[in-house]
Chain A
Amino acid sequence: MDIFANLALGFSVALSPWTLTLAVIGCFLGTIIGALPGLGPSNGVAILIPITFTLGLDATAALVLLTSVYYGAMYGGRISSILLNIPGDEPAMMTTLDGYPMAKQGRAGEALVISGVASFVGALLATIALALVAPYLARIAYKFGPAEYFALYVLAFATLGGMASRNQAKAGLAALIGLAIATIGLDNNAGFDRFTGGNLHLSDGVDFLVAIVGLFAVAEVFFFIETHGRDSAVGVKLERVIVPWAEMWSTRWTMLRSSAVGFIAGVLPGAGASLGSFLTYMMEKGIAGEKGGFGTGVAKGVAAPEAGNNAAAGGALVPMLTLGVPGSGTTAVLLAVLMTLNITPGPTLFADRPEVVWGLIASLLIANFVLLLMNVPLVRVFVKVLMVPPAVLLPGVTMISFVGIYSLSGSYFDLVLMILFGVMGYAFRKMDIPTVPVILGILLGYQMENNLRHAMTLSGGEWTYLFSSPIAVGLWIFAAAGFIAPIFLRGMLRRPQVAEADKVTD
């Protein structure tokens, strides 16, 4: 078998004590970076690039270190989602929905263990899939044109209705506000700025990282100040970490399904981990129905997005390695590192530089096991970092958020914008408007509009072009089903569940 010969080559590169040490260091740093709000995988990797050059690492060692950080950050993002209700990075956003309610019920330990294992399953399956099918899977990207991408984004928004358990209109309003914010900046199809007021800082639009840190972390600070910490999310106690075997076993199909969907979302350039975790969460919520209690703190609600986003992280490596198309912000950074190391990703990479590709895959496998160990039995170490008294933690989180956001563009403008988003997040929470749809609107709105406009350019304004391929039609059918199904389900299983949900989330 070719694959075993290749893997043997990979492990022979990756299994030296030096690269193993790098993998462990990378996993550790990555988990911390992921857990700290404002620092996500992309700036985590970007910050470490100078170090790899200073240390004079060769291509394989540099890749091992940086991808360990990447995977580590994907694992770590969930920790602050669960304990603080502040996503550590944007794909971990969905994990707040059930993770934080679990923590409030005193089940933080279970949430961390289940999500850690789900991360492991997702990432491991994705890495295996990457090894087995990457060269073939790259072809999927060729099947997705503007019409197909647009349908994919419509699918994401169609399931939004089921997002808020209480008030659909407020979720819709929040998504529209997000979409409106996404229209700010250079109109890529006409070459003119929109809604920037002549401000150059706005010409690239609003960075969703700025929005996410503002809406979650800064808003949290305002709440903390208002209530002197009494009503603040910070300070959820982690009693003990026990492994809830039965509960975990009950999520096995959720983990497998979510890994598959997340991986495919990752493979599609432009979709990425956030869409992966969102789609998997909504899919599992749909499968479980109203009785599933999603949003009130259920195990499946943390297993689905975590398996989904970690699988997507692996999936995103497929287009990066085989096409040179980065599927996410972090893979864009990794791509830059590869180019700097004189490795040109593309269709010939697997043939030209097998030691790099298979060394990378082998080290990802190793990193996964290291991360499982760090994130389940040793999770207390990372929790400790977040478990300091809120009066110390919050200023620290705020400071790190400011540093992280400043490092994005090196301008104070983003900091001002972040504070404005904080005010908005505070007001929204007072009015009970969910903030997750705002982020989704910003995150997906730009691509969604772009693809619609591209489709219209290519077809000369003929709208039937949007339904012109089997893939597009299939996605539209799913979207329609996703939009209509919750309405019927809600009609059938009325009141009691909704009332119950209210009680628990409050």
Chain B
Amino acid sequence: MKFTTLKALGTSAAISLLAASSVWAAECIAPANPGGGWDFTCRQIGKILYDIGQVDAPVQVTNMAGAGGGLAYSTVVAERNTDPELIVAASSATTTRLAQKAYGDATADQVRFVGAIGADPGVIVVAADSPFQNLSDMVEAIKADPASVAFAGGSAAGGFDHMKPLQVLKAAGFDDITSVKYIGVDGGADAITQTVGGFTQAMTGDMSEIVGFIKSGEVRALAVLTEERVPGFEDIPTAKEQGFDVVAVNWRGLYVPGGISDEDFQKWADRLQAVADSAEWKQAMTDNGLAPFTKVGGDFQSWIDGVVAQTEELSREIGVIQ
């Protein structure tokens, strides 16, 4: 019996060790469950940082799902505010939610946004057999009968995916935004499934979510919400060139705790720049439908401040916040 006791203890000890391995390495918090964009950011950036020798030990990825990133945000602010070895995956969703006060009392100035090194362009997609040939067709149909087009997206109502078609409609002079139908499902692929199945008429999401389906010909992209057409997807027109002045990209980047020194902030900015310049990252971007979008260091922080202010204004306008 003693032997089996030891064995049981050994098993549990081994498992606890696994769970808490690499205590001394840099840590990247993905504020979501494995499988999403933030998880991708942490794992990919973490892997490349190690591969190109920017860090000595593999970066430990911690998934801290909760409150759409709010849990990780409040934990970092309250408990890890001066940890120089901590990075946290962030994206447009982070700033959208901060602007909408979805993280409780937290504000965007409590952490430091260190950089974005890629962006997932916003897209509006329809099933291959849809009657809509371009963005104008769809906008006109909605103007005629707002109930005729329902959108599916991977974020909850009021989230980034929901805002994209609303921004397009506002740009087209359509103001009855609350009458537009939107359902928030579990991720972009699920939203596409609903659209291909004919349950919704259009899908709103990110380029990375539609790559496989575009290639297989099951869906068509009506527009990509970038300044210029995306490399590798040159046949998808921008909303801008179709006369709707909307740019919405889901940038992928990191924030660090607010209380770290300027040197540590600069250290992470440099490391992130090295990842952005690496061939590995360029390959990962191509494979995942990300477009180049590099803003690192102080530039990025001031850009973020602008975006937060803008989102706050827009959210108020469309009634998501008072």
The residues of A with any CB-CB pair to B shorter than 8 Å are 32-33, 36, 39, 46-51, 53-54, 141-146, 186-191, 198, 200-201, 203-204, 269-270, 323-326, 329, 332-333, 335-337, 339-340, 342, 344-349, 384-385, 387-389, 392-393, 396, 399-400, 403, 406-411, 450, 454, 457-458, 460
A346 touches B213 (CB 8 A): yes
Give the CA-CA distance A144 to B185 in the complex, in Å.
13
Give the CA-CA distance A385 to B6 in the complex, in Å.
10
Interface centre among B18, B34, B287 (most CB of A within 10 A): B34
B156 touches A141 (CB 8 A): no
8 extra interface residue pairs, beta carbon distance < 8 Å, beyond A50-B58, A188-B156, A201-B71? A144-B197, A201-B66, A325-B187, A329-B33, A347-B215, A399-B12, A399-B16, A400-B15
Contact A46 to B34, CB < 8 A, known contacts A325-B193, A410-B62:
yes
Give the CA-CA distance A400 to B70 in the complex, in Å.
27
**Shortest beta-carbon distance, B286 to chain A, in Å?**
9
A204 touches B215 (CB 8 A): no
**Shortest beta-carbon distance, A455 to chain B, in Å?**
9
- By a CB distance below 8 angstroms, the chain B residues around A408 are 65
- By a CB distance below 8 angstroms, the chain B residues around A270 are 186, 190
Give the CA-CA distance A340 to B43 in the complex, in Å.
7
B171 in the interface, Cβ–Cβ < 8 Å? no
Contact of A388 among B1, B15, B34, B211 (CB under 8 A): B1
Give the CA-CA distance A274 to B241 in the complex, in Å.
48
- By a CB distance below 8 angstroms, the chain A residues around B199 are 145-146, 458
- By a CB distance below 8 angstroms, the chain A residues around B1 are 388-389
Give the CA-CA distance A176 to B216 in the complex, in Å.
43
B47 touches A384 (CB 8 A): no
Contact A50 to B66, CB < 8 A, known contacts A146-B199, A324-B212:
no
- CB pairs A–B below 8 angstroms (28 shown): A46-B63, A47-B15, A142-B193, A142-B197, A146-B199, A188-B156, A188-B184, A189-B156, A190-B157, A191-B159, A200-B103, A204-B65, A269-B193, A270-B186, A325-B187, A332-B35, A336-B35, A339-B40, A339-B288, A347-B212, A347-B218, A389-B5, A392-B5, A393-B8, A399-B16, A403-B16, A410-B64, A457-B150
B11 in the interface, Cβ–Cβ < 8 Å? yes
Nearest first, the 8 A-B pairs at minimum CB distance are A346-B212, A191-B158, A145-B199, A347-B216, A203-B67, A332-B35, A142-B197, A336-B34
**Shortest beta-carbon distance, A312 to chain B, in Å?**
17
Contact A32 to B34, CB < 8 A, known contacts A51-B18, A191-B158, A388-B4:
no
Contact A454 to B183, CB < 8 A, known contacts A348-B215, A385-B11, A396-B9:
yes
A186 touches B156 (CB 8 A): yes
A340 touches B47 (CB 8 A): yes
B283 in the interface, Cβ–Cβ < 8 Å? yes
- By a CB distance below 8 angstroms, the chain A residues around B186 are 269-270
Contact of B71 among A33, A47, A389, A411 (CB under 8 A): A411
Contact A400 to B71, CB < 8 A, known contacts A54-B58, A342-B283, A385-B4:
no
- By a CB distance below 8 angstroms, the chain A residues around B67 are 186, 200-201, 203-204
B320 in the interface, Cβ–Cβ < 8 Å? yes
- By a CB distance below 8 angstroms, the chain B residues around A324 are 189, 212
- By a CB distance below 8 angstroms, the chain B residues around A346 are 189, 211-213, 215-216
B5 touches A400 (CB 8 A): no
Give the CA-CA distance A145 to B193 in the complex, in Å.
9
Give the CA-CA distance A188 to B4 in the complex, in Å.
48
B19 touches A323 (CB 8 A): no
Give the CA-CA distance A349 to B102 in the complex, in Å.
37
Contact A344 to B159, CB < 8 A, known contacts A188-B184, A325-B190:
no
B147 in the interface, Cβ–Cβ < 8 Å? yes
Give the CA-CA distance A388 to B68 in the complex, in Å.
42
Give the CA-CA distance A480 to B292 in the complex, in Å.
54
Q: For chain B residues 272-286, which have a beta carbon within 8 Å of chain A?
A: 283-284
A-B pair count, CB < 8 Å, reads 198
- By a CB distance below 8 angstroms, the chain A residues around B156 are 186-189, 191
Give the CA-CA distance A190 to B213 in the complex, in Å.
29
A344 touches B212 (CB 8 A): yes
B216 touches A409 (CB 8 A): no
Give the CA-CA distance A48 to B62 in the complex, in Å.
13
Give the CA-CA distance A393 to B5 in the complex, in Å.
8
A39 touches B71 (CB 8 A): no
- By a CB distance below 8 angstroms, the chain A residues around B61 are 49-50
A50 touches B60 (CB 8 A): yes
Contact A335 to B35, CB < 8 A, known contacts A190-B157, A200-B67:
yes
**Shortest beta-carbon distance, B177 to chain A, in Å?**
14
A387 touches B288 (CB 8 A): no
B19 touches A407 (CB 8 A): yes
Interface centre among A51, A200, A406 (most CB of B within 10 A): A200
**Shortest beta-carbon distance, B229 to chain A, in Å?**
21
- By a CB distance below 8 angstroms, the chain A residues around B242 are none
A191 touches B320 (CB 8 A): yes
B200 in the interface, Cβ–Cβ < 8 Å? yes
Give the CA-CA distance A323 to B11 in the complex, in Å.
37
B39 in the interface, Cβ–Cβ < 8 Å? yes
- By a CB distance below 8 angstroms, the chain B residues around A454 are 183, 185
A458 touches B16 (CB 8 A): no
A333 touches B47 (CB 8 A): no
Give the CA-CA distance A493 to B84 in the complex, in Å.
70
Kindly report which residue of chain A lies nearest to residue B184, judged by CB atoms. A188
Give the CA-CA distance A408 to B21 in the complex, in Å.
15
Give the CA-CA distance A346 to B102 in the complex, in Å.
32
Contact A336 to B43, CB < 8 A, known contacts A145-B194, A345-B212, A400-B12:
yes
Contact A146 to B183, CB < 8 A, known contacts A189-B157, A396-B12:
yes
B193 touches A385 (CB 8 A): no
Kindly report which residue of chain B lies nearest to residue A344, judged by CB atoms. B212
A200 touches B34 (CB 8 A): no
- By a CB distance below 8 angstroms, the chain B residues around A54 are 58
- By a CB distance below 8 angstroms, the chain B residues around A198 are 104
B150 touches A409 (CB 8 A): no
**Shortest beta-carbon distance, B123 to chain A, in Å?**
15
Give the CA-CA distance A68 to B103 in the complex, in Å.
39
- By a CB distance below 8 angstroms, the chain A residues around B65 are 204, 408-409
**Shortest beta-carbon distance, B180 to chain A, in Å?**
11
- By a CB distance below 8 angstroms, the chain B residues around A407 are 19
Kindly report which residue of chain A lies nearest to residue B181, judged by CB atoms. A457
Contact mask B9-42 → A, CB, 8 Å, 1/0?
1011001101101100000000001111001100
B196 in the interface, Cβ–Cβ < 8 Å? yes
- By a CB distance below 8 angstroms, the chain A residues around B66 are 200-201, 203-204, 409, 411
Give the CA-CA distance A59 to B148 in the complex, in Å.
44
B7 in the interface, Cβ–Cβ < 8 Å? yes
Contact A39 to B15, CB < 8 A, known contacts A203-B68, A411-B64:
yes
Contact A392 to B8, CB < 8 A, known contacts A144-B197, A200-B104, A336-B35:
yes
Kindly report which residue of chain B lies nearest to residue A400, judged by CB atoms. B12
